[in-house]
Structure 1
Amino acid sequence: MRRYGSAVLLLLTGGAVLRISLFSDLYLRYVQAALRPYLVISGSLLMLLGVVAAVRGMSHRDHEEEHEDHEEEEEAHSHGGPRIAWLLTLPALALLLFPPPALGSYSAGREQAQLAAQGVGTFPALPAAKVLDISVAQYSSRAIYDTGHSLKGRTVRMTGFVTHGSNGTWYVTRLVVTCCAADATTSKVEIRGTEATDAPQTDTWVTVTGTWLPKGRLGTDGAWPPLLDATTVTQVKQPADPYEKR
């Protein structure tokens, strides 16, 4: 069975990669959509290599010598090489059968607020719409740094997962990625206009509609996190792509 170890590992890993990238959108929990073709190609190559390794293993079995080298066998067993190698199948099986969820409130809670790093200034004009759909990151940037106050008087709508703070405060939160989940940073908006007892549970996904509430001086710690005076809060399903892009 040892001769097929590499083949099994390659097939499991390739199958797991194809499962999350070719046959579902689960890969969006970990990387951006633009990387999907590379995952599909990588998974396909791993499957191909696994088949080649399995065929070679069968060929070697037919031509195997009757007696194996005793010294080599003892060294392999003494170091536990074959047994340890099989442990490498566990991550592949986990990804194949139980893909980890997207990052959520725990990751967001450990992210430090990044304030005034880009300085204040004017932003491009927002689209004319009765209700403006906007990302949490875009809202945060404009609320904290926009000297033109482009959010003033606008009704906005944003979607994110719920995180909780002290004294009954709660936030609509999104994780922002450049490439993949490993470089994720946090954007969040504190929700006002709803009673603390009505706040959704942590990690619940919601769509919130409301208007901007000015807070603190632009570009300072006092402006973070930005506020939203909510008029409606609606629970929704987690989107297929849970991250916002820079």
Structure 2
Amino acid sequence: MNRQAQAAVMFLLGAALLHAGATDLYLRYVKAGLQPLLLASGAVLIAAALATAWYERKRTRAAKAASASASASGTGAGHTHPEPRISWLLLLPLLSLILIAPPALGSYSALRAGTALQKPYALGTLPAGDPVPLSVVDYASRAAYGQGRSLHGRSVRVTGFLALDRTGTPYLVRMALNCCAADAQPVKIALAGKLPPVLQPDAWLEVTGTYSPKATHDPVNGGPIPYLSVTSAKPVPTPHDPYDETWNN
């Protein structure tokens, strides 16, 4: 792979990063807050590729001029060694980024990792209105660490995907990100009450319900898993951002 080919690969990689950052594709890899850095990285790679191509073109012209001068003077020109062909394997991660959009992590990953729920620094006051929309992390934090004090007498609406353990216990889950999908960990809410007759793992549900004092422990790491008493549940499409970034706030 010569310098021109390297510049072309770098340009394509930068363009792929810009494409991912300008669309929803980047949400499959990193949290939303990293979008500006992703776009900046793509722009830097494209600029570096253009600079490399310009420099290589200039160097090639100079080498041709030197070769012509050496031929005229009868001086032999040196030979160059070809670049190793294995370097073309660098195209594989680029093609995977362009051609394959990985699905968001689901119930398989959630049931094999312990809950990432952490004790919050503080629990704010819930906004007015019923049902009040809460993230999985927010409800779980208020139920597990706030003893449900802020939830008493309130109806809540929570959205997540469904996971079923070996005993058939249903959980409403959201994978929480610290940085990127590689470090995603689940936060789980156990469900009880009026549930759909057929529960499909990985299906996204919008659940309305009330606080339940019942709680259990995650069999993987022993972390707290609070219950939610369900009054209604309906399927919903996969959200724009399937991950939850609020767990470490």
Q: Determine the C-alpha separation between the residues in 2 that align with 1:222 and 1:10.
A: 46
Match in the other structure for 1:190: 190
Amino acid at match of 1:91: P
Change (3 A) 1:113 1:131: same
Amino acid at match of 1:30: Y
TM (normalized to structure 1)? 0.81
Secondary structure in structure 2 of the residue aligned to 1:91: helix
In the TM superposition, residue 225 of structure 1 has moved relative to its aligned partner by 1.9
Percent identity reads: 41
In the TM superposition, residue 207 of structure 1 has moved relative to its aligned partner by 1.0
Q: Determine the C-alpha separation between the residues in 1 that align with 2:196 and 2:169.
A: 7
Q: Determine the C-alpha separation between the residues in 1 that align with 2:13 and 2:97.
A: 8
Match in the other structure for 2:72: none
Amino acid at match of 1:47: I
Alignment pair present for 1:45 and 2:44: yes
Match in the other structure for 2:153: 153
Change (3 A) 1:20 1:114: closer
Amino acid at match of 2:88: W
Match in the other structure for 2:128: 128
Match in the other structure for 2:84: 82
- Aligned counterparts, 1:63-142, within 5 A: 63-64=63-64, 65=67, 69=78, 73=81, 82-113=84-115, 118=119, 123-142=123-142
Match in the other structure for 2:214: 215
Secondary structure in structure 2 of the residue aligned to 1:26: helix
Secondary structure in structure 1 of the residue aligned to 2:214: coil
| 1:208–1:233 contact (8 Å) kept in structure 2 | yes
Q: What stretches of structure 1 of length at least 5 have no aligned partner?
A: none
Q: What stretches of structure 2 of length at least 5 have no aligned partner?
A: 69-75
Q: Determine the C-alpha separation between the residues in 2 that align with 1:114 and 1:7.
A: 42
Change (3 A) 1:130 1:68: farther
Report Cα offsets for 1:109-130 as digits up to 9, x if no partner. 2321357x649x9843322212
RMSD of aligned Cα (Å): 3.0
Amino acid at match of 2:54: V
Q: Determine the C-alpha separation between the residues in 2 that align with 1:84 and 1:114.
A: 41
Report Cα offsets for 1:151-206 as digits up to 9, x if no partner. 2232110111111112222211101123322332211112222457411x222222
| 1:144–1:223 contact (8 Å) kept in structure 2 | no
Q: Determine the C-alpha separation between the residues in 1 that align with 2:31 and 2:222.
A: 33
Secondary structure in structure 2 of the residue aligned to 1:225: strand
Amino acid at match of 1:210: G
Q: Determine the C-alpha separation between the residues in 2 that align with 1:177 and 1:109.
A: 16
- Aligned counterparts, 1:20-31, within 5 A: 20-22=20-22, 24-31=23-30
Q: Could you tell which deviates more after superposition, 128-137 or 204-213?
A: 204-213
Report Cα offsets for 1:215-244 as digits up to 9, x if no partner. 1499xx999321122222222121221121
Structure exhibiting the larger radius of gyration computed from Cα positions: 2
In the TM superposition, residue 137 of structure 1 has moved relative to its aligned partner by 0.5
Amino acid at match of 1:111: A
